[in-house]
């Protein structure tokens, strides 16, 4: 999960704030991003404001330090189970691609949804991490994509797909080809069908977790696909050039259990 903020690595990007806000003004979809950017506190993945310190940076980030259902996790043991009825309706579109200082994120216009059981969540945005945040049997992959769905502001379903080097994926290539190297947004060169970032096999792991960035809010229903999707190494390199490391380490599983099933 990803919330925007004005830092990158150990570099404070507040001096780029004007450029950032100007970019947001040109992007009506990013109005929510602007509000969050103003409220957020400085955090990074490494160094003084790194992931081990998030819980101490701001009282609003307390769950990052004291939460018992945090994400990501290493998935190694699970129970087979029937997964609730899950349906998603994602509209293909030419979404603008944003660099928010922590990741490359695509904000999805309203209209795309995900239904889980009797609840309907709005598909808000998707974004990328490198290396992957979740690991399978202790092994991380090159990257991970998170599809974030929300019901109000405190209840989430995030679908996660691990990405590995291999065959070129046109959607990923198009997105990385439009990824801004600095804070701001860039239009996409052609419309993409986001579903092509999902694996053909619908085997998934499901567990209760949290946002993987501050404020680390718990109440996230994680759906992690077992199978990875191949993308071109050259496209992974584009992302890594902008964000060499934007993954939170695995958190304790504690008393949680992981379910495995088909969606």
CA dihedral of 132, 48, 181, 159, whole degrees rounded to 10? 30
Q: Are 222 and 160 in contact (CB under 8 A)?
A: yes
Q: Which stretch binds Zn ion (CB under 5 A): 28-36, 66-74, 141-149, 216-224?
A: 141-149
Work out whether 1 is an interface residue with Zn ion (CB under 5 A): yes
Looking at beta carbons only, is 16 or 146 nearer to Zn ion? 146
Question: 71 or 174, CB closer to Zn ion?
Answer: 71
Q: ∠151-156-162 over CA atoms, to 5°?
A: 140
Residue 106 lies near Zn ion (rule: CB under 5 A): no
CA distance 183 to 23: 8
Using CA atoms, how far apart are residues 71 and 73, in angstroms rounded to an integer?
5
Upper half-sphere CA count for residue 13 (Cβ side, 13 Å): 26
Q: Considering only residues 16, 146, 206, 260, which one is a binding residue for Zn ion as defined by CB under 5 A?
A: 146
Among the residue ranges 32-40, 55-63, 143-151, 173-181, the one whose residues contact Zn ion (CB under 5 A): 143-151
Residue nearest to Zn ion (CB): 146
* Stretch 32-51 residues interacting with Zn ion (CB under 5 A): none
Span of 20-28, 145-153, 163-171, 187-195 interacting with Zn ion by CB under 5 A:
145-153
* 134 catalytic residue (yes or no): no
Q: How far is CA 123 from CA 75, 88, 146, 259, in A?
A: 25, 9, 11, 23
Binding of residue 134 to Zn ion (CB under 5 A): no
Binding site for Zn ion (CB under 5 A): 1-2, 146
């Amino acid at each position: 999960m990803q919330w925007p903020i004005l830092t990158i690595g150990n570099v404070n990007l507040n001096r780029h704030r004007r450029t950032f806000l100007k970019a947001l003004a040109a992007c009506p979809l990013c109005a929510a991003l602007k509000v969050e950017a103003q409220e957020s506190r400085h955090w990074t993945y490494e160094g003084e404001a790194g992931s081990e310190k998030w819980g101490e940076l701001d009282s609003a980030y307390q769950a990052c330090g004291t939460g018992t259902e945090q994400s990501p996790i290493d998935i190694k043991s699970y129970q087979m189970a029937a997964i609730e009825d899950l349906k998603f309706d994602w509209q293909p579109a030419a979404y603008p691609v944003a660099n928010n200082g922590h990741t490359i994120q695509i904000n999805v216009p309203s209209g795309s949804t995900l239904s889980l059981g009797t609840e309907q969540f709005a598909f808000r945005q998707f974004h990328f991490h490198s290396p992957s945040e979740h690991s399978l049997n202790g092994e991380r992959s090159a990257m991970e994509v998170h599809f974030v769905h929300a019901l109000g502001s405190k209840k989430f379903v995030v679908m996660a797909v691990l990405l590995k080097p291999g065959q070129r994926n046109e959607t990923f290539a198009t997105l990385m080809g439009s990824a801004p190297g600095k804070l701001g947004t860039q239009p996409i060169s052609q419309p993409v069908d986001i579903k092509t970032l999902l694996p053909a096999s619908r085997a998934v792991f499901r567990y209760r977790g949290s946002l993987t960035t501050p404020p680390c809010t718990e109440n996230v229903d994680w759906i992690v696909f077992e199978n990875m999707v191949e993308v071109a190494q050259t496209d992974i390199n584009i992302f890594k050039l902008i964000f060499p490391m934007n993954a939170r380490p695995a958190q304790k599983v504690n008393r949680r259990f992981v379910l495995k099933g088909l969606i």
